[in-house]
Amino acid sequence: MPDLFSPYTLKGVTLRNRIAMSPMTMYRSTDGLMSDFHVMLLGSRAAGGFGLVFPEQMAIVPEGRTSISCGGIYDDSQIEGLARVASIIKAMGAVPAIQLGHTGRKGSELKPWQGKTQLAPDHPDGWQVVGPSAIPYGGRYTYPVHALTRDEIKAIHRSYARAARRALEAGFEWLEMHYAHGYLGASFFSPLANKRTDEYGGSLENRVRFHLEALDAVREVWPERLPLTMRLGADDLHDEGVQFDDAVVAVAMMKQHGLDLADLSMGFNTDAMKAPPFAELAFMVERATRVRREVGIPVGVSWNLGVPELADRVIREELIDLVMLGRPALSNPHWPVWAARELGHSDPFSLVPEDWGWWLRNFRAHESCIGWPVVEESAKRETNAA
């Protein structure tokens, strides 16, 4: 029976455990480049014990970013910074992963702490956003959307392939396609955003065509020995949007086009969601388990899995294959080490680099003075909770 700290092998890649740091937009890039900040952020999480580490979503074209401060993989000049990130992740014992995406009609934004409003196409820091149809998202996304032509769709698929080549050159060993969170892939999948009448709209099979062709384009340049995964907006929580049954069928189709694992999330194609479950623990696990069972493909999910006992249980019960952590990874760079301690792992310090582990096991000091909770305190918390 696997547990949270069991190795996990997919294709020719083995993770040291089942804990992944999810992609999270940091708004720290200039011209799409990775910097010392990203080396610090991602290297520290790899050193902290995560088995798989993602930088933020990497835009495949400049107008595929969320803002001008977001990362990109649309130019060869960006390979050097990405290679630094991949190198430090590997040096600290984790597998470097990368997520390729395009924000579609949810791009051209200010940073969240500056208001997260959409900028006009003629603003110096804005651009014309695009989508499957000329339908603005709504809410704070008010500017007109350019409906992509067939030729423009084909160009985007070529951009995916070029981005995958750069990712391979930079040293990444796991590639994910971002088809969720209201971004371009999610928009093509959702009837709320996709009103096309050609081969990319209408039926479920047509609405998934964009995704399948993107997968095909990437698989041509991405080696078969390396995992190719995707994050899918599996439910819009809206009567007229994506239903989870649609996602089960779509994942099965993607599996036939080289998909190795499904990372399931929400559609976010509208703010008018019905009974959003965002405060519920592990709310995506049941959906993911169904995909795992019915499609026969490994699955990973995020959303409220930052409680160690819960994360371990969903792996032990073989409900999912990977635990994806976002905010928990931001708040605690050593979350896996902390979780190992909480779960009674025989050697939590085996998760950190060998030299760190040696010093932490062989200290000459008061036990409570190395920044590590003593057993009595942990036991007291358990007693109080009971």
DSSP 310: H
Other CB atoms within 10 Å distance of the CB of residue 32? 23
300 pLDDT above the threshold of 80 = yes
Place of tokens 């099965």: 252
Q: Look at residue 378 and tell me whether its pLDDT is greater than 50.
A: no
Q: Which domains does the chain have, with CATH numbers?
A: 8-335 (3.20.20.70)
Separation CA 143–CA 128 (nearest Å): 8
Give the burial string for 7-23 (b: 16+ CB within 10 Å, else e): ebebeebebbbbbbbbb
Query: What pLDDT shows up at residue 360?
Result: 87
Question: What is the identity of the amino acid at 152?
Answer: E
Token pair, residue 376, equals 């009595």
Q: Is pLDDT of 375 > 70? A: no
> SS3 for 248?
helix
Structure tokens that stand for 211 in this block:
């995704």
8 part of the active site: no
Rounded Cα distance between 140 and 221, Å, is 37
pLDDT at residue 382 above 80?
no
Q: Tell whether the model's pLDDT for residue 288 goes beyond 90.
A: yes
> Which class for 80: exposed (0-12), middle (13-18), buried (19 or more C-beta within 10 A)?
exposed
Q: How far apart are CA 375 and CA 385, in angstroms?
A: 15
Q: Is the pLDDT of residue 385 over 60?
A: no
Residues in a beta bridge with 53: 21, 96
Q: Could you count the other beta carbons within 10 Å of the beta carbon of residue 151? A: 8
Model confidence at 383: pLDDT above 50: no
pLDDT-derived band at 380, boundaries 50, 70, 90: very low
Catalytic residue among 27, 143, 179, 183: 183
Which pLDDT score is estimated for 366? 77
Whole-model pTM: value is 0.94
Give yes or no for residue 281 having a pLDDT over 60.
yes
- For residue 289, the 8-state DSSP code is H
Q: Is the sign of the CA dihedral 73, 75, 78, 80 positive or negative? A: positive
Confidence category of residue 99, pLDDT binned at 50, 70, 90: very high
- Convert the pLDDT of each residue in 81-98 to its tens digit: 999 999 999 999 999 999
pLDDT of residue 377 exceeding 60, the answer is no
